[in-house]
Structures are given as C-alpha cells and as structure tokens.
C-alpha cells in the first residue's frame, strides 16, 4: 500500500496521486512502484475494469518496457557487434523491464479486488504526453469502449512514471537497492538528465562519465563534476568491478554500496584526465619475470575532498614496499581491456611470449607499454584488486585480459596493433 499520509499531508484523490513531501523524499524502486498504485486504482475505478481488461494493460506494460517491440520506450538495438556499454545497458533494460512488468501484473490483479481508498475523491490527473505508443487493444480500452480523457491521462502518467523508473535504474547492478530522489512529480524531475543520457546512448558510444552523471542525478537530484563514481546520502556508487573478478565484471555499470559515513555529495575523479599525456615506461626496460612476484596485498584509499571532488588510489604492498595506482586510471584500464570471447575457441601458439614481472610493472613510473612484440604479465593467484591496479598501470591500448587456461595466441577480440600486453588472471569461478 502507498505510504499513509500524515495529518498535514493532503489526502489521495482529486488531482493528487501521491503524498510525497514538497521537499522530496528517497525511495527504493519497489517503494516508488508501490507509491504509483493510486494511478492504477484511478484507472480501474474510472473504467470499471475487470480481470479481462487487466490482461490488456499487462500486455501493454510488457510491450512498453521490452526492447524491439513496436511500443518500446527504448529503441535500442543490441547485438554481438554493439558497443559493450550498449550491450550492458540493454541487458539491464530487459532484466529490469521484466521485473517491473511482473510487479505490474501482480498489482493489477490485487487492486481489482482490494482497492486503494481515495479520500479526496476520484483521481483526475493532467499528464503531459511523452509519446508512448499503445497496443491496439489498450488504445481501444482506454480511448474507445469505456475509456476517455480521464482514464487515458491516468494511464499515461502511470506508464511514464514506470518508464522513468526503469531508465533511472539502468546504471546500477543492484538496482533494487538504489535510493531514488523522488519529488511531488514522481520521477519527472529526471527527464532532462534522462533525455541527455538516452540520446548519447542511442547516437554514439556513451561515455562512462555520462552514465555516472545520470546516476548522480537519479540519486541526488542534482548534477556534479564529471567522474567515475560518487558518494551521497549514505552510500557510494562506484564501478561494479570493485569487489568482483575483473575478467567477469561489467565494464560500465555501477554498484550502490551503503555507507553511513558518506554524508556529503562527492564525485570521484581521475588524477590524470588525459592519459595520452601521462609519462610512459617501456616494458622492455623492466626486468623479466624470472620468478613469481609472490603474494601482493591491496586496498583502496580515498583522497581529501576539494570542490566537491576527490581522487582515490589503490595501494599495493609487497614485502613492506608500497606502490600506488590511481583508482580512476585502474577503472579506465578495466573498461578498455580486451577480453577473449568465451564462445570462440582459441588457436594455440607455440610462441613463447616475453614476460614481465607484475610487481615491477606496478612500481614503474607512468604507464607501462610495449613497442617490441607481445609481453605477458602473469597475475594468476593475485587478489582482484591487485589485478585492477595492474590494469591501471598499463597503457590502455592493446591490453588483453585473459584467463590463464587460454592460449596467448591472438583472437579477433584482441587488439590489432603490433604489440600486446597480455595479463593472465585466474579463470572466473564456475556458476
């Protein structure tokens, strides 16, 4: 049921479909979905809907939230040749859309027999059209047989709020845990940020900073500096690879992590914005990996806040000596690294590529790169955060991240340049 109004809050009904305070509030996806139920109740009441009619509206929400339908609200075509960010966000849209459609089906079935009271009278809401297409049966129900302007406006508002909800959650792996900023207009305050986010997604390879910027607006209701993550309102939103094996982790999605200490709104930014201009070290100048680097330990350390932004580093320690790698560059390296296609076989090679020691690379000044043929860095047995730090020390061009049980021979997913830095890691655990 929607949250009960306080004595000073206007009752549901009339032109009011929610009881959100003027200053706004914070809700999870499930709580916000529940708060939109009065709109569905108004549609049922105005149209005297039956269970048969409910199936029409259920088909409509599934078609609106799906990809590739006539009625889709997100005309994103994804395939094996699509950019990795588009594939990840498209998969998110499908997963979240299916769950929201399931919630809608369950809610409609319940409201047909267990109605929500509207003390201020029948709902009559003015909803500005956003152009969502209706299925022919839904158009007939809402505009034809028993429908009319009132029912159509109510359904348009509910449908649009659910589409806004789906899109607001796209950047997050654990989308059901994200605290959403809600105003008396629901999620309509996100429309300008959403339009910019989706436009970039649909017309170019979307930048990571754009994904983070939209997520920042969804959580805080405001914009901030361009960065790779942020903290606000009791939590942090940082790339999902932090805490996951780099070989299997999403490249572009964020994970919301509750953190009571994160009270202020702060954006995480890279130490060096233009990595092309960073100093470099040739891997050929590093000692070969004659012996294993041994066990390395790593932790993340955040820097001080200045003008609403901060940097962070990964500290890697070995036998009392510490190397520092910018977290922003490490995450950039993870996004850019080539990965083998798990569905294609690898041709084996008898060539023995040259090697370099992981610890030597981590301690090298600037970014490590190669001009004289492939070089392998064996990071098997190392902590995931150590692997991420290594990716932050390698110049992110023609870096290949591979499981140790795969051949070092080139595949079509590897870089096409003359020299690669091949980083071997432990295979991801079987699911």
DSSP secondary structure letters along 104-163: HHHHHHHHTTSPPP-TT-S---------PPPPHHHHHIIIIIS--HHHHHHHHHHHHHHH
pLDDT, average across residues 193-197: 97
pLDDT of residue 265: 95
Closest CA to 209 of 159, 256, 156, 268: 268
What's the rounded Cα separation, in Å, for the pair 426 and 32?
41
Q: How far is CA 216 from the centre of its chain?
A: 11
What's the rounded Cα separation, in Å, for the pair 163 and 97?
9
Q: Find all residues with CB under 8 Å of 378, minimum gap 6, and list them.
A: 289, 292, 355, 358, 404, 424
Q: What is the pLDDT of residues 72-101, one digit of tens each?
A: 999 999 888 899 999 999 999 999 999 999
pLDDT of residue 289: 75
Of 251-265, 392-406, 410-424, the range with the highest mean pLDDT is 251-265
Q: Look at phi and psi of residue 35 and say left if phi exceeds 0, alpha if psi is from -120 to 50, else beta.
A: alpha
11: how many CB neighbours lie within 10 A of its CB?
13
pLDDT of residue 53: 87
Strands (E), 226-310: 229-232, 235-239, 254-258, 266-268, 280-282, 297-302, 309-310
- Alpha-carbon distances, residue 110 vs 114, 116, 136, 346, 347 (angstroms): 6, 10, 25, 53, 57
Q: What are φ and ψ of residue 401, in 5° steps?
A: -105, 115
Identify the residue with better confidence: 144 or 66. Answer: 66
What's the rounded Cα separation, in Å, for the pair 156 and 33?
15
- Alpha-carbon distances, residue 54 vs 17, 102, 103, 111, 426 (angstroms): 20, 13, 13, 10, 50
DSSP H or E run through 53: helix 51-65
Strands (E), 196-296: 229-232, 235-239, 254-258, 266-268, 280-282
What's the rounded Cα separation, in Å, for the pair 48 and 347?
65
Helix runs in 147-258, H state only: 149-169, 191-203, 208-220
pLDDT of residue 372: 80
pLDDT of residue 1: 54
Residue 398 has pLDDT above 90, yes or no: no
Closest CA to 111 of 36, 177, 171, 170: 36
pLDDT of residue 352: 45
Banded model confidence at residue 350, pLDDT cuts 50, 70, 90: very low
pLDDT of residue 8: 59
pLDDT of residue 39: 95
The count of residues in the chain is 431
Q: Output the six-digit token pair for 133.
A: 């297409």
What's the rounded Cα separation, in Å, for the pair 291 and 307?
45
Closest CA to 137 of 62, 46, 75, 74: 62
Q: Find all residues with CB under 8 Å of 136, minimum gap 6, and list them.
A: none
Identify the residue with better confidence: 79 or 7. Answer: 79
Mean pLDDT score of the chain:
89
What's the rounded Cα separation, in Å, for the pair 228 and 90?
20
Q: Output the six-digit token pair for 203.
A: 């017309």
pLDDT of residue 412: 46
pTM: 0.92
Banded model confidence at residue 363, pLDDT cuts 50, 70, 90: very high
pLDDT, average across residues 297-306: 96
How crowded is the C-beta side of 109, counted as CA atoms within 13 Å? 8
């Amino acid at each position: 049921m929607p949250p009960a109004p306080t004595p000073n809050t206007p009752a549901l009904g009339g032109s009011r479909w929610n009881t959100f305070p003027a200053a706004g509030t914070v809700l999870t996806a499930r709580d916000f979905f529940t708060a939109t139920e009065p709109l569905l109740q108004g549609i049922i009441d105005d149209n005297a809907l039956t269970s048969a009619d409910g199936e029409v509206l259920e088909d409509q929400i599934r078609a609106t939230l799906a990809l590739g339908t006539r009625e889709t609200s997100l005309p994103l075509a994804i395939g094996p040749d699509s950019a990795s960010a588009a594939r990840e966000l498209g998969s998110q849209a499908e997963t979240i859309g299916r769950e929201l459609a399931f919630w809608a089906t369950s809610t409609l079935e319940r409201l047909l027999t267990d109605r929500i009271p509207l003390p201020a009278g029948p709902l009559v809401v003015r909803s500005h059209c956003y152009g969502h297409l209706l299925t022919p049966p839904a158009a007939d129900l809402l505009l034809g047989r028993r429908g009319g302007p009132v029912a159509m406006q109510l359904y348009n508002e509910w449908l649009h709020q659910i589409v806004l909800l789906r899109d607001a959650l796209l950047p997050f792996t654990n989308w059901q845990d994200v605290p959403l900023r809600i105003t008396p207009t629901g999620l309509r305050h996100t429309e300008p940020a959403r339009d910019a986010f989706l436009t970039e997604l649909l017309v170019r390879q979307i930048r990571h900073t754009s994904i983070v910027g939209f997520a920042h607006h969804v959580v805080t209701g405001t914009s901030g500096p361009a960065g790779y993550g942020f903290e606000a309102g009791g939590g942090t939103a940082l790339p999902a690879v932090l805490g996951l094996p780099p070989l299997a982790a999403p490249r572009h999605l964020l994970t919301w992590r509750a953190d009571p200490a994160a009270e202020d709104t702060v954006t995480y930014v890279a130490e060096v914005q233009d990595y092309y201009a960073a100093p470099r070290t040739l891997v050929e100048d590093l000692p070969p990996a004659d012996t294993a680097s041994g066990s390395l330990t790593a932790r993340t350390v955040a820097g001080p806040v200045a003008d609403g932004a901060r940097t962070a580093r990964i500290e890697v320690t070995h036998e009392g000596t510490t190397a520092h790698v910018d977290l922003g560059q490490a995450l950039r390296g993870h996004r850019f690294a080539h990965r083998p296609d798990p569905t294609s076989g690898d041709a084996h090679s008898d060539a023995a590529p040259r090697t370099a020691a992981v610890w030597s690379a981590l301690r090298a000044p600037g970014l490590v790169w190669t001009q004289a043929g492939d070089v392998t860095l064996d990071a098997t047995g190392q902590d995931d955060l150590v692997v991420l730090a290594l990716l932050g020390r390698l110049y992110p061009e023609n870096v290949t991240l591979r499981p140790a049980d795969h051949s070092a021979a080139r595949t079509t997913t590897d870089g096409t340049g003359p020299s690669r830095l091949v980083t071997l890691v432990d295979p991801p655990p079987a699911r």
